[in-house]
């Protein structure tokens, strides 16, 4: 929707040659079918659309700089070679960057693998302020901002979405100022009060497209963990049509471990490794609660390898949960999963 308005505006105003760079970070490349869904078929046919590859040295420009957090400033060459760089995306709560949008389109979006590994390192993820809804003092966010300031992002066009995933706010202009305005507006809707933790928390990963794979579903689990009692149960429903979503490393980090502590020990021993951040956050959640995943797309064995419990229906999941915490359990439901931030308030 944004490109539909933006591209004609640019072409009418200038003789600019337009390229579109998809900020894949360390995720798999986008398929041709997905590109057509992402930007429309006519855009695919008429414009150069490139996938960022964080491992491809030929795509990268090294600036011989590091941020104060030690992250090497290495970015896709197109960012530096073009006169105007516009970041398009949307702002939502993010489980370790505080919020998505703005600076995140550069790091991890179009940064090198080494830069991403450092920004997503065990130490950075482990910081107590690397959490949903926190920007000030969050080292991951602050590192991303430094990276942006050392590379190039001239203008952002970020949106916020409502429950129906329709655009409910547009924030354009200076990357930092426009992003903060978007965050401030979003916080009116996503910070939801709760009075006490629950024995069982039922949630989703926000539906399609965020619940396409189990790797992304960790985000919804982490939201639920904010509300779950220690020793409680999280039930999350997620389609997971793409299985692991190309994140085999995520499974391999956890596979063969018997408890969260073993996952952490493995990450510390092998770091840096792909997807360690997701496994680290999963371990943190597992220290607090059992996790039941309601899905038809993933096998019981795959989920067990991730220290997760499989259920085919919500009713089955509740029966399993009652076995852990009893039938008199208090239950909290979070329909929007990672799209909200639970905020503890006093019962009085």
Catalytic residue positions, numbered? 27, 94
The structure tokens listed for 345 are 């308030």
The C-alpha atoms of residue 50 and residue 95 are separated, in whole angstroms, by 27
316 Cβ contact list (under 8 Å, min separation 6) = 294
Strand runs labelled E in the chain: 19-22, 48-51, 60-66, 72-76, 86-90, 93-94, 98-99, 155-161, 167-173, 191-194, 198-204, 228-237, 289-294, 309-311, 331-334, 341-344
Closest CA to 117 of 301, 276, 224: 276
Q: How far separated are the first and last CA of the chain, in Å rounded?
A: 45
């Amino acid at each position: 929707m944004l490109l539909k308005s933006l591209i004609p505006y640019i072409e009418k105003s200038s003789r600019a040659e337009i390229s579109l760079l998809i900020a894949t970070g360390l995720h798999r490349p986008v398929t041709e079918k997905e590109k057509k869904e992402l930007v429309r078929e006519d855009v695919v046919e008429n414009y150069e659309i490139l996938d960022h590859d964080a491992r491809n040295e030929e795509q990268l420009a090294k600036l011989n700089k590091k941020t104060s957090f030690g992250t090497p400033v290495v970015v896709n060459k197109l960012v530096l070679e073009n006169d105007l760089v516009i970041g398009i995306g949307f702002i939502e709560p993010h489980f370790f960057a505080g919020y998505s949008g703005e600076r995140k389109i550069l790091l991890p979006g179009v940064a090198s693998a080494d830069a991403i590994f450092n920004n997503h390192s065990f130490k950075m993820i482990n910081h107590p302020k690397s959490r949903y809804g926190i920007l000030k003092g969050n080292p991951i966010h602050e590192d991303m901002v430094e990276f942006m300031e050392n590379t190039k992002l001239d203008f952002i066009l970020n949106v916020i979405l409502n429950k129906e995933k329709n655009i409910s706010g547009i924030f354009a202009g200076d990357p930092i100022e426009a992003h903060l305005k978007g965050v401030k507006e979003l916080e009116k809707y996503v910070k939801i009060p709760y009075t006490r933790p629950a024995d069982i928390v039922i949630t989703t990963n926000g539906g399609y497209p965020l619940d396409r794979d189990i790797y992304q579903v960790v985000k919804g689990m982490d939201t639920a963990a904010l509300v779950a009692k220690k020793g409680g149960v999280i039930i999350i429903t997620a389609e997971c049509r793409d299985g692991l979503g190309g994140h085999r490393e995520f499974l391999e980090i956890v596979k063969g471990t018997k408890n969260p502590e073993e996952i952490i020990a493995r990450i510390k021993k092998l770091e840096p490794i792909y997807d360690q951040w997701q496994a680290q956050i999963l371990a943190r959640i597992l220290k607090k609660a059992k996790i039941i995943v309601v899905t038809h797309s993933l096998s019981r064995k795959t989920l067990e390898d991730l220290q997760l419990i499989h259920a085919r229906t919500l009713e089955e999941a509740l029966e399993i949960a009652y076995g852990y915490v009893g039938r008199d359990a208090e239950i909290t439901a979070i329909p929007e999963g990672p799209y909200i931030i639970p905020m503890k308030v006093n019962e009085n």
